[in-house]
């Protein structure tokens, strides 16, 4: 049982790292340009401060997929798996509302 828990934690950490990489590097433009997120070391002021907003997973998926206001849609440039990974990352470091 302990081995199963260890594997689950390692998988969650790898998924979190993937989401962080998408947030900080792979998404173009980078999410860090517009959003403040302490874990990512970003302090953008164009979009909402994600540490304060603490969006839930569905909110992040909708925003990243379709865009919101001046935020562009990423459905053409990120895969569904990448969008889910970045949503999981944001929620894991900010905690759901």
The first and second tokens of residue 84, run together, are 């889910």
The first and second tokens of residue 64, run together, are 């990243």
Domains of the chain: 2-94 (1.10.760.10)
**Beta bridge pairs of residue 91:** none
Model pTM score? 0.84
pLDDT digits (tens, 9 = 90+) for 45-67: 999 999 999 999 999 999 999 99
Predicted confidence at residue 79, as pLDDT, reads 97
Identify the band that residue 96 occupies on the pLDDT scale cut at 50, 70 and 90: low
Identify whether the C-beta of residue 20 lies closer than 8 Å to the C-beta of residue 40: yes
Predicted confidence at residue 26, as pLDDT, reads 95
In angstroms, the Cα distances linking 60 to 8, 39, 97 are 23, 16, 12
pLDDT digits (tens, 9 = 90+) for 27-49: 999 999 999 999 999 999 999 99
Does an H or E element contain 31, and which?
helix 31-34
């Amino acid at each position: 049982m302990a081995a199963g828990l260890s594997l689950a934690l390692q998988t969650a950490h790898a998924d979190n790292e993937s989401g962080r990489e998408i947030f900080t590097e792979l998404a173009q433009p980078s999410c860090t340009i517009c959003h403040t997120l302490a874990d990512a070391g970003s302090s953008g002021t164009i979009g909402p401060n994600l540490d304060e907003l603490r969006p839930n997973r569905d909110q992040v998926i909708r925003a990243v997929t379709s865009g919101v206001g001046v935020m562009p849609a990423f459905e053409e440039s990120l895969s569904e798996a990448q969008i889910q990974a970045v949503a999981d990352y944001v929620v894991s470091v900010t905690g759901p509302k």
